[in-house]
Copies of this chain bind each other. A is one copy, B any other.
Amino acid sequence: TEGYRLYPLPPTPKRDNKVLPEDLKTPDNHVERDPRLIRLTGIHPFNVEAPLSDLYDEGFLTTKDLFYVRNHGPVPRVEDFEVLDWQFSIEGMVENPVKLTLRDLLREYEQFTYPITLVCAGNRRKEQNMVRKTKGFSWGAAGVSTALWTGVGLWDLLGRAMPKRGARYVCFEGADRLPNGYYGTSVKLNWAVDANRGILVAHKMNGEALHPDHGKPLRIVIPGQIGGRSVKWLKRIIVTARPSDNWYHIYDNRVLPTMVDPEQSANLPETWEDERYAIYDLNTNSAICYPAHDERVSLVEKGVEMYKFKGYAYAGGGKRVTRMEVTLDKGKTWRLANITYHEDQYRDAPDGETLYGGRVDMSWREACFCWCFWDLDIPLADLADAKDVMVRAMDDSMMVQPRDMYWSVLGMMNNPWFRVVIHKEDSGHSLRFEHPTQPALMPGGWMERVKKEGGNLSNGLWGEKVSGEDDTNTQKEAVA
Residues of A within 8 A of B (CB): 188, 190-191, 194, 196, 255, 257-259, 276-277, 279-284, 316-317, 319-320, 322-323, 325, 329, 331-336, 364-366, 394, 396-404, 406, 412-413, 415, 458, 460, 466-468, 473
| Complex Cα–Cα for A283 and B466 (A) | 32
**Min CB gap A134→B, angstroms:** 15
| Complex Cα–Cα for A319 and B395 (A) | 14
27 A-B pairs with C-beta separation under 8 A: A190-B366, A255-B394, A257-B323, A257-B325, A257-B334, A258-B334, A259-B336, A276-B322, A276-B323, A279-B398, A281-B319, A281-B396, A281-B397, A282-B397, A283-B397, A284-B397, A284-B399, A317-B317, A317-B319, A319-B397, A329-B473, A332-B458, A399-B399, A401-B402, A402-B403, A403-B404, A466-B466
Q: Is the interface of A mostly helix, strand, loop or mixed?
A: loop
| Complex Cα–Cα for A158 and B188 (A) | 27
Q: If the complex has contacts A258-B325, A335-B259, A458-B332, are A399 and B283 also in contact, measured as CB distance less than 8 A?
A: yes
Q: If the complex has contacts A320-B276, A402-B403, are A473 and B332 also in contact, measured as CB distance less than 8 A?
A: yes
The interface residues of chain B lying within 8 Å CB-to-CB of A332 are 458, 473
The interface residues of chain B lying within 8 Å CB-to-CB of A400 are 402, 406
Tell me whether B398 and A366 are in contact (CB under 8 A).
no
The interface residues of chain B lying within 8 Å CB-to-CB of A284 are 397, 399
The interface residues of chain B lying within 8 Å CB-to-CB of A396 are 276, 280-281
**Min CB gap A284→B, angstroms:** 6
The interface residues of chain B lying within 8 Å CB-to-CB of A398 are 255, 279, 281, 283, 406, 412-413, 415
**Min CB gap A369→B, angstroms:** 14
The interface residues of chain B lying within 8 Å CB-to-CB of A188 are 366
The interface residues of chain B lying within 8 Å CB-to-CB of A316 are 397
**Min CB gap A398→B, angstroms:** 4
Q: List the 7 closest pairs (A to B, CB-CB), nearest first.
A: A281-B397, A276-B322, A402-B402, A467-B468, A398-B413, A190-B366, A399-B399
Residue picked from A281, A284, A397, A403, most chain B C-beta under 10 Å: A397
| Complex Cα–Cα for A294 and B318 (A) | 43
Tell me whether B196 and A460 are in contact (CB under 8 A).
no
Tell me whether A403 and B196 are in contact (CB under 8 A).
no
